[in-house]
Amino acid sequence: MDIQKIKAAIRNVPDFPIPGIQFKDLTTVFKDAELLKELGDGLYDQFKGMGITKVVGIESRGFIMGPILATKLDAGFVTLRKPGKLPAETYCETYDKEYGTDTIEIHRDAIEEDDIVLIHDDLLATGGTMLAAQKLVERFNPKKVIISCIVELEFLEGRKLFDGTTPVETLIKF
């Protein structure tokens, strides 16, 4: 996988969604068939052989590579959604992010104790969303949890929120 080629294709959008935020837009990678395939293959290579049984994608951009990765890993796909979007009983977690607070939910029957879970999103910034996702997944007491993001904004130090017992894997660092 050509990380530099993928990194170069990521669009920077200044002042989105609010002034002062430099948004890393991966849709410019996803729209390119060659880069999308390369990214899917690269993520698969990173996690194959780990026995992953569920990939949890965070709304909304985690819904793009998450199912691709789940299919390649022969794993199920679970959605973490914004409140009111899931039709059955849910657990929810509220968290802080760079520009406010938010809440995510997961179905109460989404994960089993014998699952090895990969939580996937496009970006790790301050870490609030991913930490909330980890807390939700850990309610199920799975065998193992692994965190995966395509991009990490190192200067925001989101990785520091994690205690070191859960692997945090990112492909591209800014």
Whether residue 60 has a cis bond before it, omega within 30° of 0: yes
One of 61, 93, 105, 152 is an active-site residue; which one? 61
- Rounded Cα–Cα distance for residues 67 and 33 (Å): 16
Q: Which residues of 98-110 are buried (b: 16+ CB within 10 A; e: fewer)?
A: beeebebbbbeeb
54-58/22-25 β-pairing: unpaired
Q: Out of 98, 112, 159, 169, pick the active-site residue.
A: 98
Contact of 132 with 154, CB cutoff 8 Å:
no
Q: How far apart are CA 173 and CA 105, in angstroms?
A: 28
Look up 108 and say whether it is catalytic. Answer: no
Q: Residue 38: helix, strand or coil by DSSP?
A: helix
* 126 neighbors 99 (Cβ within 8 angstroms): no
Task: Give 154's DSSP letter.
Answer: G
| Catalytic site includes residue 152 | no
Active site residues: 61, 98
